Chain A
């Protein structure tokens, strides 16, 4: 695998505000990578540096082994899909899609052919070609914007939260569409979003950012089950973070103590521990769906006693909130059945399996 995009220690400041504090990232040919983080984390800034709308203060960006320093956006082999789509309101759909080709002095017949192919690829109706963007629905506009970005066969497709303005249903449809498109054209996608769930669905690898730096880079499963810290773990869905005290840390794993957890051996294996864990306080993460309610006589690797305080039906699943004797609130999510295993006020034992937990340092 070769790196199509190589970013080395890129820094960017706006006045006294440091938007990117040294970001390095390498993206492979054909990969779908998602840049995720809250607003102001620097993900859009990073995308602008890649697209060439801005130049980084220091650092190097190379696309297909060519250094991009001083290369303007117009000359880069990248193409952007904008958050607000930025379709040209005074041009028809055909003119919009054909615009990059027109600028490259492609002849009219060729433009027409390529626009036709794009329309087909995006599953748009042929009669839309002569319409103006405002005459199309939100989803159709998205497809036109994608078509315009793809028509010039870019090496890198940059997506700046293009789905964020859509309603949930349409978003799901277009997410599937993006995935299909990525598979069928084999172009490298760099997708910026603040929605980690969306990133999980779409991306091969996810790059979680905060405050202008990369917190974690990994597969969706890594991000979800082996987050680098409490920020990443809390960024998607709900999670339980239980404070523990690491009493002994070795290369094979660690031993811990925790007020509410009953754990026979008190030992956690090395592959379930983040790099930043040392002797002393740490956090033990338990995803709500990996906790289960123990019937009398059931045993589990670890057990937590708690009292159910709230209950929310979520359709397919039921979510409970429970309080441990130590005052720690826990979220438990279990598949919904017609008969409920717990009621508010019940005192229950919650169990987990050792391989489902993850431990990281208390600070980040």
Chain B
């Protein structure tokens, strides 16, 4: 009797806290979405009306469109490079034994636990000093490098989970069937790691697409959507910014759902 009561109580506590945390997580997101439909000029309640006015403004605003383009460019390049390097690192970290493999894992993973702002600053110093010597200034390329440094470890960890669950004897089996090293990768390793690689790519894209700290430090005068919004927070803002935020959410939610669907199959 008491045990059943306890079980019921635990269920209530668990589902209750789940509901609470989901509300907590989605308050700012829904606030932004709601404000993006505000008809009036100011971000205050009550709404003057509901309209798509600010989405229209968004697509007429050259700076916003430019930021959208920059975000996309940086995210796509970062995704390709970080996923490729991260996948290879994951195989090396999980499957290979070699001298210094512990040091390798540490080096490959440590940027994960490094505050992004500080990483941005440290890299800014580095690029500034190098830039002074080699005559370049920070911009879209340095931003991409910063993103790759930060995101590659994420990609590595995600693929590593897949590599860890991967039975390496199927590669031996393929070799035994007469496959060359390349054919082993083409027919066995890559197809089997694909769900992990794909999730890693999606995460890489989203982390880069919405990244503020590194872009803020490293992109020079180039604006991406997040830094564009940040500038909007600073000066008394209009619903244009919530509208941009909502636009940023869209690929995110689509890709996360897709990644999860794929990982399940």
Contacts and interface: CB of A to CB of B under 8 A. Distances in A.
Contact of B167 (A86, A100, A103): A86
27 contacts: A53-B175, A72-B175, A73-B172, A74-B176, A74-B178, A80-B172, A82-B169, A82-B173, A84-B167, A86-B167, A86-B169, A86-B170, A86-B173, A87-B170, A88-B170, A88-B173, A88-B174, A88-B188, A88-B192, A89-B170, A89-B192, A99-B174, A99-B177, A100-B177, A103-B179, A148-B177, A152-B178
Contacts of A90: 191-192
B69 interface: no
A125 interface: no
B183 A53 contact: no
> Nearest 5 CB-CB pairs, A to B?
A86-B173, A100-B177, A86-B169, A103-B178, A73-B175
B136 interface: no
Query: What does DSSP make chain B's interface, helix, strand, loop or mixed?
Result: helix
Interface in A73-95: 73-75, 78-80, 82-84, 86-90
- Which size class do B's interface residues fall under? 10 to 19
A56 B187 CA distance: 28
Interface in B235-261: none
Contacts of B231: none
B180 interface: yes
A314 interface: no
Contacts of B174: 88, 99
Contacts of B188: 88
Interface of A: 51, 53, 72-75, 78-80, 82-84, 86-90, 99-100, 103-104, 148-149, 152
Nearest to A79: B176
A126 B187 CA distance: 24
Interface string B180-205: 10010001100110000000000000
Contacts of A99: 174, 177, 187
A53 B188 CA distance: 17
Given A78-B176, A79-B176, A103 B183 contact: yes
Contact of B177 (A53, A83, A84, A152): A152
Given A82-B169, A86-B169, A99-B187, A74 B192 contact: no
Contacts of A152: 177-178
Contacts of B191: 90
Contacts of B170: 86-89
